[in-house]
Amino acid sequence: MRKHIVACLALTLALVLTLSCVSLAEGFTAYNPPIVETTAGKLRGFMNGSTYVFRGIQYAQAKRFMAPEPVDPWEGVKDAQTYGPVSPVLDATPFSDSLVNQDEFVWPHRYWVQDENCLNLNVWTQHLDKDARKPVIVFFHGGGFDNGSSIEAYAYDGNNLSVFGDVVVVTVNHRLNVFGMLDLSAYGEQYKGSANNTMKDLIASLTWIHENIESFGGDPNNVMVFGQSGGSTKTALLYHIPAAEGLFHKAAAHSSGNITTMEPGDSARIAQLVLEKFGIAPDEVEKLNDISARELMLAGYEARDQVSKELGRNVRFRPTYDEDYITTEFASFSNDYPMMIGSVWSERIGTLHKGTGKNEWADAEVEAKLTEVFGEDKDEIMAEFTRLFPEKKRQDVLYYDAARRGQVRDALAARMKGITAPVYAFLFAYEAPVNGGITPFHCSELTYVFHNAEFSECRFATGASPEALKVQDTMARAWINFAYTGNPSQEGLEWLPYNETSNNGTMVFDTNSAFTILDDQKLCELMLKHM
């Protein structure tokens, strides 16, 4: 054969050059990835630019329906380079009839491998030295307590937030639906509190963070938790879990910060029906372990629907105030832990994820629609709307989620009963500049909070426009400042707590974000008469 041209020496030189070119912090490269020692053993991550990334770190282990326990220690080095499995869920299941989600383009998903053994988390950090002690920002995903995962949306990728704020970002998987909230306590001491395993998992993740995050450059004494939708309930519930003391220090609840739980007894009744369905007697409950995860999940939902019928109300999987692990009263530490609470313009109103064409409507068409919806209250509603949002199009009022705004006010009021530390209110009002303009929908603020307006699949719905980049800078900076100091203000954008002093001021994030006295109660009341 003709020999390759380059001699060994040149190759060696090229190799050295290459390795030094891609060499990153502390000399780690793709070729030579970072390894970190945790309480249970060593983990091998990888570099993403300047970021040390560790994916799928197991933070606890749990037998089916049992409380989470510390991970068994291991010898040698375990890989933490791929995402771990996520909790089994009904959504996103192949062979469903739902096909591809309608919102896929503007809210791109990661489908992923599902398994009950899903107690794992992901870490993005700029440091591996224990002296760095950077704020830790922990994300609890949404999807009620039925769906979702730490990686369900591309928007949840923590790399860009870690880089932008020099913070440690952690995203968490935990058990959902029947796996995290089936109350089997009647069938054995080992199942005590099984109705709240989903929250016990989250506390276990915070415990792992508390014990290990220093090795990832994080400060165990400065941990911020934030969550959206179902994640906001998870976040708000931390204030009712005495075991959470010292494991977090501030929190943000997005859309909307209200807490909804199961009534005591609801989950026990579901458990009873599940056992009956499989012909399992009360004294042989361990036979549940022989049933496949999928069958069990389907049975759980079937039983849930049956219980809803029996009780004449909509029963959903949620944690339960058992006054033991989760208490109705605020935990003693709550007063010291500040919060951010807010929602987005449209939430689930209207054709959220598709262009409505509203920006193309002629004036007459707009007025006709407003008259059709608001009738005799139109003028009063529009006067209020224009007063509050002078820069919005008149038709945008049709997509303003008045009901959710009320829930946010309720959530703010409820939280402030147990939290004397500052509570900050926000509204995300930035219209995604895609497909003719889409008012901000449920979840959409997360792309900007995570500083992911240019990231991968996310950038198609933001257009990666200068406006979008400005919005992400403003929002991510607020969350980062809150993580660093407990105050989300930034230069040129003072953000006062929601209280009488600020006239219940709210930060409205938009092309030009502004701190505003968003007294939209009258607007919402008028609107709700017609929606």
Find tokens 């030579």 and name the residue. Answer: 32
Structure-token pair, residue 178: 């029947």
Q: How does DSSP assign 134-168, residue by residue?
A: EEEEEEE--STTTS--TTSBGGG--HHHHHHHT-E
Q: At 304, is the secondary structure helix, strand, or coil?
A: helix
For the record, the structure tokens of 460 come out as 């198609």
Number of residues assigned to the chain: 531
As a whole number of angstroms, the distance between CA 380 and CA 512 comes to 26
Contact 509, 426 (CB under 8 A): yes
Task: Extract the runs of DSSP E, i.e. beta strands, from 333-389.
Answer: 339-344
For its own copies, the closer CB: 366 or 414 = 366
Angstrom distance (rounded) from CA 157 to CA 216: 17
Q: 276-279 long-range CB contacts below 8 Å, 24 or more apart? A: 277/302, 277/303
Considering Cα of 182, then 184, then 185, then 191, what sign does the dihedral take?
A: negative
Strand order in the sheet with 77-79: 35-37, 42-44, 77-79
Task: Quote the least distance from Cβ 9 to its own copies, whole Å.
Answer: 10
Phi-psi region of 154 (alpha: psi -120 to 50; beta: other; left: phi over 0): alpha
What is the b/e burial string over 386-396, where b = at least 16 CB atoms within 10 angstroms of the residue's CB? eebbeebbbbb
Residue 26 token pair: 């502390």
Place of tokens 């049992």: 66
